[in-house]
Structure 1
Amino acid sequence: MRPRDGRGPQRTLPFDCRQRETKSSSSGSGDCEEKCYHALSTLFWTTCRCFPSASSPQPCRKGIPSPFDRRRNRFRERKHLAQRHTAAETFAAQSSGLPGSGEVFEVHTYPEQLAVKPGESQFINCSTSCSRPEAGGLETILAKTLLKSGAQWKEYLVSNISQDTIIYCYFTCFGEQRLTSLNVSVFYPPTQVLLKLQPTWVAVGRPFTIKCHVPAVKPLESLTLMLLRGQEVLHNQTFWGTTDGTQGATATHNSTAHREDGLHNFSCQAILDLRSLGGNIIHSVSEPQMLKVYEPRPDNQMVVIISVVSVLLFLFVTSILLCFVLGQHWRQRRMGTYGVQGA
């Protein structure tokens, strides 16, 4: 196999051939100059054989590629170009936001959950990860106003929120529409917390009752009532809601009066935890109340009763003794009369 000039990347000859060519060329004798060709090629390697100048019609060149080398170089070049083309297509598909082409676009709302008082307004941002959305917006039964917008987001003002509802944020990207929902919860805070002590005057060792009431609150399942003596928690109670409207809640605790109870204020704290609905924790506290505790004193009425009972008992015993004495005297007199008659 005689080599021809290659047009692709050239392969350097093995060291032994280069050395032999350099040595022959440095001798200066044209007859003794050896010519090198890629005469034998296999699948994995190529050998170089050297021939004298008389038997070779072509000059010796370093790095002349064999036909196998040229085919392998062309194959590698086509494979490299195909890989670059595939990478370019993948990058273009991801950049364009095509669904199913490597990127899945998403739709988001901020906030993700919303808890408001009745009649309030709230800002809601609707956005998407699609770089070129075709359409998008907010769907709700409430009054809405578009304030600002960008290529991938829209900001709305939702007004006069008076009931629990769901708001939908949607975007369309290359013919595919996706949406996400925003739960809106209307809450009624515990504005009134009423505390009552029954009785307000109590003797040491006697029972009394602490009662706390919240007239209207929502949601009831987020409410906790805590009954306090100073900073000490005497009782706390959670509730379960049964209706969608506002409900009242009452917590009751029975206790026994101690001398130190008169040194502390009693109060009731209402806690409405709205964190699970996207809100905060709301605290309300009742007016503090004092319990008047006194030492028990002897009851005058009881003394009178005991005195009367004692007198009655004395009279009863006296009457029994008197009857017994009179009975014995009457019996003796009667026995004495019968004895005289018998004689």
Structure 2
Amino acid sequence: MGSVLLPVSLLLAATCLVSGSPPTPSGPFWVHINPEVKAVRPGGSVWLNCSHSCPLPESSSLRTQLQQGGMLRGPGWISYQLLDVRAWSSNVRCVVTCAGETREATATITAYKRPDSVIMEAPVLVGHKYTLRCYVTHVFPVGFLVVTFKRGSRVIYFESLERFTGPNLANVTLTYVVRAGPNDLWQPLTCHARLNLDGLVVHSSSAPVMLTVQALSPVAKALASTSIAALVGILLAVGVAYVRKCLEMQSQ
């Protein structure tokens, strides 16, 4: 087999030298890129392999706005390294020119991270209103995040954070004050974080907390204690006066 391939290779090389142009493929050549879709952690790196069927490509390149690192090559393929990926979604094009014809293959690189945790703080009841506070930790991209408060299965508030465009992992705290109704006590309250990434939806939720009569602010507790003490004092005074009057009536 080696004795057959060697003359063919020499013939191809001789043809290039005589004609001054590279050999053309027998049909339309192809270009592939692998992987075509890749998700990485924000700030991470990835290798893409660009392969083709051109015997002697005139040129090959990777076109992207992402930072490029190392490069490896072999017959019919080149691998490119992309560094510090921080954009949510980036298109990458592998472009190869063969015998005057240019073809390309496209890959999509995404960077996102599900929240480490979603924590619903125990609500504080002040008067007829209570404060909801939710913590969403180490999430990216924040601009695609929607945070929702629910009482039972009912949505009572939600907020989209599309105004945030930072390129780094972030912690988010969302606060909302709501009026307490007569049926709110002992209702489960939850916080939900949703990343809506152009069709890819990532959900995370907190553990439920309850709004109870114990969920009083320190000021409200102090006022309640003072009121109870005053009421007890009044009852004791009334009781003492009643006993004294009974004793006076018996002595008569």
2: distance between equivalents of 1:123 and 1:232?
45
What code does the residue aligned with 1:252 have?
Answer: T
Distance 1:178 1:254, change over 3 A: same
Partner of residue 227, structure 1 = 149
Instruction: Report SS of the residue matched to 2:117.
Output: coil
Matched, 1:117 2:117: no
Partner of residue 274, structure 1 = 197
Alignment of 1:172-191 (within 5 A): 172-179=97-104, 182-191=107-116
Instruction: Report SS of the residue matched to 1:134.
Output: coil
Instruction: Report SS of the residue matched to 1:292.
Output: coil
2: distance between equivalents of 1:286 and 1:244?
25
Give the percent of matched residue pairs that are identical in Structure 1 and Structure 2.
Answer: 27
Partner of residue 255, structure 1 = 178
Matched, 1:299 2:223: no
Cα shift at 1:125 = 5.4
Cα shift at 1:223 = 0.8
2: distance between equivalents of 1:302 and 1:108?
83
Instruction: Report SS of the residue matched to 1:242.
Output: coil
Cα shift at 1:230 = 2.4
Structure whose CA Rg is larger: 1
2: distance between equivalents of 1:258 and 1:190?
32
171, 187, 203: which one aligns with 2:96: 171
Alignment of 1:1-343 (within 5 A): 96-97=27-28, 107=31, 109=33, 112-118=36-42, 124=48, 126=50, 132=54, 134-135=56-57, 139=62, 141-143=68-70, 154=77, 156=79, 162-164=85-87, 167-179=92-104, 182-199=107-124, 206-240=128-162, 241-275=164-198, 280-293=200-213, 299-300=227-228
What code does the residue aligned with 2:227 have?
Answer: D
Cα shift at 1:169 = 0.9
Higher percent of residues as strand: 2
2: distance between equivalents of 1:138 and 1:286?
46
- Please list the CA deviations of residues 102-124 of structure 1 after superposition, one character each: whole Å capped at 9, or x if unmatched: xxx77554555543114766574
Partner of residue 5, structure 2 = none
Residues 187 and 218 in structure 1, CA contact (< 8 A), matched pair in contact too:
yes
2: distance between equivalents of 1:157 and 1:133?
20
- Please list the CA deviations of residues 140-198 of structure 1 after superposition, one character each: whole Å capped at 9, or x if unmatched: 7134667xx997xx585858755447644121221344445545333232112222233
133-142 vs 166-175, greater mean Cα deviation: 133-142
2: distance between equivalents of 1:207 and 1:114?
46
What code does the residue aligned with 2:145 have?
Answer: L
Higher percent of residues as helix: 1
What code does the residue aligned with 2:140 have?
Answer: K
Say how many residue pairs are matched: 193
The CA RMSD over aligned residues, in Å, is 4.2
What code does the residue aligned with 1:198 have?
Answer: P
2: distance between equivalents of 1:181 and 1:256?
52
Residues 142 and 159 in structure 1, CA contact (< 8 A), matched pair in contact too:
yes
Instruction: Report SS of the residue matched to 2:189.
Output: strand
Q: TM-score, normalised to structure 1's length?
A: 0.44
Partner of residue 54, structure 1 = none
Instruction: Report SS of the residue matched to 2:184.
Output: helix
- Please list the CA deviations of residues 260-307 of structure 1 after superposition, one character each: whole Å capped at 9, or x if unmatched: 32333211111122346xxx322222232121138x989357769x9x
2: distance between equivalents of 1:226 and 1:144?
44
Distance 1:169 1:107, change over 3 A: same
Instruction: Report SS of the residue matched to 2:130.
Output: strand
Residues 68 and 81 in structure 2, CA contact (< 8 A), matched pair in contact too:
no
**Higher relative contact order at CA 8 Å, sep ≥6: structure 1 or structure 2?**
2
Distance 1:265 1:190, change over 3 A: same
Which consecutive segments of 4 or more residues in structure 1 shift more than 6 A?
301-304
Q: Which runs of 5+ in 2 are unaligned?
A: 1-23, 215-219, 235-252
1: distance between equivalents of 2:198 and 2:34?
15
2: distance between equivalents of 1:303 and 1:232?
39
1: distance between equivalents of 2:111 and 2:205?
22
